[in-house]
Structure 1
Amino acid sequence: METSVYIPIISDYGFKATFGNEADSLFLRTALQALIKSDTPIREVHFDKNAFEALTIDSRSGIFDLACTDENGTQFIVEMQLGLAPHFVQRMKFYALHKFNTVVERGNFDYANLPKIYAIAILAKNILPTTHFHTIANLRSEEGEIIDSQLSFITVELAKFTKQVAEIETDLEKLVYTMKTLHTTEPTQYPAFWNEEWLRRAIEELDTRKMTPEERAYFARVTAANAEAVKAEKQRIDDVKRGTIRKLLLQGKLTVEDIADANDVSVDFVLDVQRKL
């Protein structure tokens, strides 16, 4: 980010400035339409409260990255994940089913005419055993027949997207390409579709050359906070791994190399734990 002209859309600041831009929802509306693969334009969106309370005393509360509703009452949950998250599907089920429960409750437990709910996950890493970068999942029979489409899970895995500019045709492909490459692209290398209104407006929000002093200060605060959070999370993960590795070393059943492979760490990491035993 020290030399890049554009802030990544997939950063916390970038996500809020584009998907979460309440003053100008054109990008969000077009992106949602592309993500759910709908031919019907989304005319307006209402941003919903993104924090939700537990339904019972012993159940969990949480926070969506973004929650909104369109003019037809369709509900959208959008989550962004940069790091490796092998259990992210479980998180999306938790969020989506919580949303399902709340819309049923608001409807006095009437299951008829429930609004559609789309739980959208945008991931930098791969988590699904699928080959395509975009996956839509519904409740289906063993023959693949749709049983229910009221609740849809949509997953975008940026790492699986490999198309080049000349191959890009759909709004979905334009969106994913932009999310994956904007912050590494020089202004002189603009693909033509970045001049389309919905993308142009979003990109302008991420152009560091056009930021006001207040925006620069806010961006610096968000970046610093995120860096501290990442550092703390990495330390927590390392501490957990060290505890597991200590137990394996004391059992003496595996080689250092096997322990390193099993815990996705380097041999030097294991040797460092061993020296401190």
Structure 2
Amino acid sequence: MGTEGIQDKYVNPYTDFGFKLLFGTAMNKELLISFLNALLFKEETVKDVTYLNAEHLDTQEYDRRAVFDVYCENEKGEKFLVEMQRGEQQFFKDRSVYYATFPIREQSQRGKWDYELKAVYIIGILNFTFNDTDEDYFHHEVKLVDLYTHKVFYDKLTFIYLEMPKFNKKEDELESMFDKWLFVLRNLSSLFERPRALQNRVFDRLFEAAEIAKFNPKELGEYWESLKNFRDWYSVMSTQLKKGREEGLKEGLEKGLQEGLEKGRKEECFKNAKKMKQAGIASDVIAQVTGLSMGEIASL
């Protein structure tokens, strides 16, 4: 497999290969640990993770086109399901809740068991937006809340959604590790040199692992295939979006034209009715001729 078409220096994390390389391999698990701590705990709370079999999640084949899973647990037995969702699904929130049931049910024990559960975190890195009411609100942390007290009712089930298109911080605006991680995820494939703001051990490892020139022929072939799939998907989605916009514009123009004609016809009726009324013609006759109601004629 050659390198034709590959001009980026670093891997695209929105590809299946890129996401699994950075977050789903044992040799790079320190990257996942750093990301989890930056996102959830703001300190070095997670010390280690063990990768679990994502097949236990019963992921459907059609999901693989849009969703990449990393499933792991930390040293406390807490479960983390991290997903890269590059395309919006109609019921993606339902899907998140559905998959949250698997790491919960897996904790059941034979014999005597008091139902005590370890925490479960569902993390969605979204390459789309689902809430356009606030352009700055991109980091959603969802828990079960008592609507009366507005307090967390159950703190062991957490859903995190990151609307990546809304994260637009520049390099000189990066303050926390959380900012730096989102900057990397959003911009990695478009970088040609390492930003000065990302100079620490964790990002040393990330940029080393992500450099395409260091891939062996097998890795390069797998990445190229994954990148091709991503580009094909992106092309299809862009085409469908453009088509939808064009159809919507056409429908809007047709509707506007129809409404305009109807408005003009109505105005002409009022104009003629007013002249007929001034000429002393009976209102019931005017109504029959123009189609206006008796109330509309009376208001002239």
Amino acid at match of 2:119: K
Identity between Structure 1 and Structure 2 (%): 22
* Equivalent residue for 2:121, pick from 118, 122, 131: 118
Contact between 1:124 and 1:157, CA under 8 Å: does it hold in 2? yes
User: Equivalent residue for 1:180?
Assistant: 186
Deviates more, 1:207-216 or 1:37-46: 37-46
> CA offsets per residue over residues 116-160 of structure 1, 9 Å max, x none?
000000001111355422111101122421111110000111111
CA distance in 2, matches of 1:159, 1:33: 22
**Is 2:139 aligned against 1:134?**
yes
1:72 corresponds to which residue? 76
Q: How has the CA–CA distance of structure 1 residues 158 and 260 changed in structure 2, closer, same or farther, with 3 Å as cutoff?
A: farther
Q: Indicate the SS of the match to 2:73.
A: strand
Q: Measured at CA, do residues 208 and 110 of structure 1 come closer, stay the same or move farther in structure 2, by a change above 3 Å?
A: same
The reply on whether 1:106 has 2:109 as its aligned counterpart is: yes
Aligned residues: 240
Residues 1:84 and 2:88 are matched in the alignment: yes
What's the C-alpha RMSD, in Å, of the aligned pairs?
Answer: 3.2
In the TM superposition, residue 42 of structure 1 has moved relative to its aligned partner by 1.6
Q: Aligned to 2:167, which of 134, 155, 161?
A: 161
Separation in 2, partners of 1:53, 1:175: 26
Aligned pair partner of 1:216 in 197, 214, 220: 220
Q: How does 1:23-38 map to 2 (within 5 A)?
A: 23-38=27-42
- Alpha-carbon distance between aligned partners in 2 of 1:182 and 1:260, rounded to the nearest angstrom: 44
* 8 Å Cα contact 1:122-1:157 kept in structure 2: yes
TM-score (norm 1): 0.75
* Contact 1:12–1:222 under 8 Å retained in 2: yes
Whether the 8 Å CA contact 2:9–2:212 is kept in 1: the answer is yes
Do the aligned residues in 1 keep the contact of 2:57 with 2:99 (CA within 8 Å)? no
Quote how far apart the aligned CAs of 1:163 are: 1.6
Say if 1:6 and 1:207, in contact at 8 Å, map to a contact too: yes
Q: Could you tell me whether the CA contact under 8 Å between 2:139 and 2:160 is conserved in 1?
A: yes
* Secondary structure, counterpart of 1:76 in structure 2: strand
Match in the other structure for 2:12: 8
- SS of the residue 1:162 aligns to: coil
Distance 2:249 2:180 in 1: 48
Q: Which structure 1 segments of 5+ residues have no match?
A: 55-59, 246-253, 262-277
Q: Which residue of 2 aligns with 1:271?
A: none
- 1:28 is displaced (CA, Å) by 0.5
Residue 144 of structure 2 aligns to a residue in which SS? Answer: strand
Contact residue 86 and residue 127 of structure 1 kept, 8 A: no
* SS of match in other structure, 2:106: helix
Contact 1:85 1:127 in 2 (8 A): no
C-alpha change, 1:259 and 1:17, in structure 2 (3 Å) is: farther
Structure 2 unaligned runs (5+)? 256-300
**Structure 1 pair 260–191 and aligned structure 2 pair: CA distance change class (3 A):** farther
With the length of structure 2 as denominator, give the TM-score of the two structures.
0.69
